[in-house]
Amino acid sequence: MDKQMIYKDAQALNSDMVAFRRRIHEHPGTGFDIKETVEQVRQELETMGYTVQNCGKAGLTTTVGNGNGPVFLLRADMDGLPIKEETNLPFQSTNGKMHACGHDMHTTMLLGAAKLLKQYETELHGTVKLMFQPAEEIMAGAADMIEAGILTEPKVDAAMMIHIAPGLPLPVGTILTHAPGVIMASCDWLEIHIKGVSGHGSTPSSAIDPLPAMANLITALQEIQARELSVDNPIALTFGCVEGGTTSNVIMDHIVLKGTLRTRDEKVRTFVKKRVEEMTSAVTSLYRCEGEVVWGDNCPVFMNNADLSSKVSTYLEEYLPKNSLLDTNNLPSLGVIMASEDFGYISQEVPTILLNLAASDARVTTPYPVHHPKLVLDESCMASGVTAFVGMAMEYLKENSQSTID
């Protein structure tokens, strides 16, 4: 097989991929509520000749290959975010939700890979399992699909995912590889409930206002990083939502603070969660309020497998155009990555690798980040993503099939 043909074949799919990506971009769902996207993915796969199974609450899976030998899993997430889009694109979402993290591209690229893998099925030395996942943004979809059996029948030997990376000073389509070990942080969703006593705005002394307790608690919690952890143990404790009150002249009786905690070390994670609970209790009581921390969905750190990391460049160099691969060790400006990915659950179970795909070039366009309402991605990057999916799967199966025979 001419490996360079894979990239050419992927490029030939570009117009179809762009059309599909824009279709699901225009009508995104969130969490497990992604019925429209799921049905469109199912339809595309069945048109290609796949038999598609439901997996968990809203996931889909299917396989391609000879049914023997090793099994390599490829994953794409399908959910969007509760963000009102502000791109003014002709296919802009108007339902108050947005694919602001590139999951529409992830889904489209895995469908492109599915098409090529079906085309080259007789050359696969094993089985490729495709995983179309919901609810990544709320850190719930991967765990749900694991519970539903995504890693069994057939048993998965290794796994891979791609995530777009906008706003880097790199050519669109560049594939970024990473060193082994922890490359993404754990994530814990949390809510802090603070209960006071309601009252009239003119007589605050007759009430117990939870708002000052919340304000001082936010400040106190930032001291965990500044004064209780060493500088080589970074955390990201971020609050993105406050809920409470109904009108200007009534002191509320209850306020809820919603956020996420991200860490790169399990001991640090345990310590910080304990301190959040202790400080919430102490600070709120100072203001005569009651405070409670409610921990929600979560995911562990993402572990990049050493063996896969050492081989990814060798696997892909013949598939992709020259100079398309870049080791992130050559990009020190990236710093410590505190983003999280619930595929971390998969990485705890089987050897797993993450690749990033440059989806906009900061040197020529406005570098809006993911989760921004004005994020615009360059669709020409998708051919590289499809090629990376197909190349990694084919090379992993070939090498590990041979080692099994040997």
Residue 389 scores a pLDDT above 90: yes
Answer for the pair 141, 344: CB distance below 8 angstroms, yes or no: no
Residue type, 378: D
User: Which residues on neighbouring strands pair with residue 129, listed in sequence order?
Assistant: 63, 73
Name the burial class of residue 350, with classes exposed (0-12), middle (13-18) and buried (19+) by CB atoms within 10 angstroms of its CB.
middle
What separation, in Å, do the N-terminal and C-terminal C-alpha atoms of the chain show? 23
Taking alpha carbons only, the member of 74, 103, 80, 104 closest to residue 32 is: 80
Q: Helix H segments across 35-167?
A: 35-48, 103-119, 141-147
Residue 331 scores a pLDDT above 90: no
pLDDT at 96: 97
Residue 200 scores a pLDDT above 50: yes
Question: Cα 153 to the chain's mean position, in Å?
Answer: 25
- The mean pLDDT value for 356-373 works out to 93
Q: How many angstroms separate the CA atoms of 216 and 308, rounded? A: 46
Cα distances (Å, whole numbers) of residue 154 to 50, 63, 130, 307, 345:
16, 9, 12, 22, 18
311, 314, 319, 323 alpha-carbon torsion, rounded to 10°: 110
- The mean pLDDT value for 38-60 works out to 98
CA angle in degrees (0–180, nearest 5) for 212-217-221 = 160
Instruction: Enter the tokens of residue 154.
Output: 């057939």
SS3 content of the chain, % helix, strand, coil (to 5): 40, 25, 35
Phi, psi of 200, rounded to the nearest 5 degrees = -80, 140
- The mean pLDDT value for 68-73 works out to 96
pLDDT band at 406 (very low <50, low <70, confident <90, very high): very low
Instruction: For each of the domains in the chain, give its residue range(s) and CATH number, in order of start.
Output: 4-184+301-405 (3.40.630.10), 186-299 (3.30.70.360)
Half-sphere exposure of 248 (CA within 13 A, CB side): 0
- The mean pLDDT value for 236-244 works out to 97
What does the longest C-alpha to C-alpha distance in the chain come to?
Answer: 83
pLDDT band at 403 (very low <50, low <70, confident <90, very high): low
